[in-house]
Amino acid sequence: MKASVLTGVIQRLETMTKTNETIEVRRFELEGVEKCQVAYLPNEDIFEMTDSQTNTVFRFDNIDLVAIEIFDLLD
């Protein structure tokens, strides 16, 4: 059985929320091509996802919703 991609995404996002006051940024890639960039803004307690293809910025206050969007981009 293949490892869960969604579990890995959620673990990376949860790690981002454990920082104190610094903005954490992660890049999510598929086969070496960046699909999106995600920043966690601790002062607002939100995730900001930028779609690398369209440069569209999405803001999420729910870790599950941002994880699903990242998963869709990586699928």
For the segment 15-74, what is each residue's pLDDT rounded down to a tens digit?
Answer: 999 977 889 999 999 999 999 999 999 999 999 999 999 999 999 999 999 999 999 999
| Distance in angstroms (rounded) separating the CA atoms of residues 13 and 17 | 7
pTM: 0.90
The number of residues in the chain equals: 75
Distances in whole angstroms, Cα of residue 55 to Cα of each of 2, 28, 42, 49, 74: 31, 14, 22, 9, 16
- Please name the residue that has the structure tokens 């960039």: 37
**What is the reported pLDDT for 3?**
79
Whether residue 28 contacts residue 38, with contact meaning beta carbons closer than 8 Å, is answered with: yes
